[in-house]
Amino acid sequence: EGEGRVVFRYADGAPNGSLRDIAGICNEAGNVVGLMPHPERAAEAALGSADGRVVLESAVKALASASR
């Protein structure tokens, strides 16, 4: 946290007990992110939920904008 590497927090408390509701962190350069909720496991209704698809689509959109 002191280095500004926390990029995601759980909004309603961490379901996994992570300290300070941290859900995602990045490396020092900011180009690699570790994410605990695993949105790829909830990207299609056939997998039980499509909630994670929003996170993945948002990342694709941000990357597409950055490459212009």
Residue 16 — pLDDT band, cuts 50, 70, 90?
A: confident
Extended strands (E) in the chain: 6-9, 22-26, 33-35
In this predicted structure, what is the pLDDT of residue 25? 95
Cβ-based burial of 31 (10 A; exposed 0-12, middle 13-18, buried ≥19)? exposed
pTM of whole model > 0.85?
no
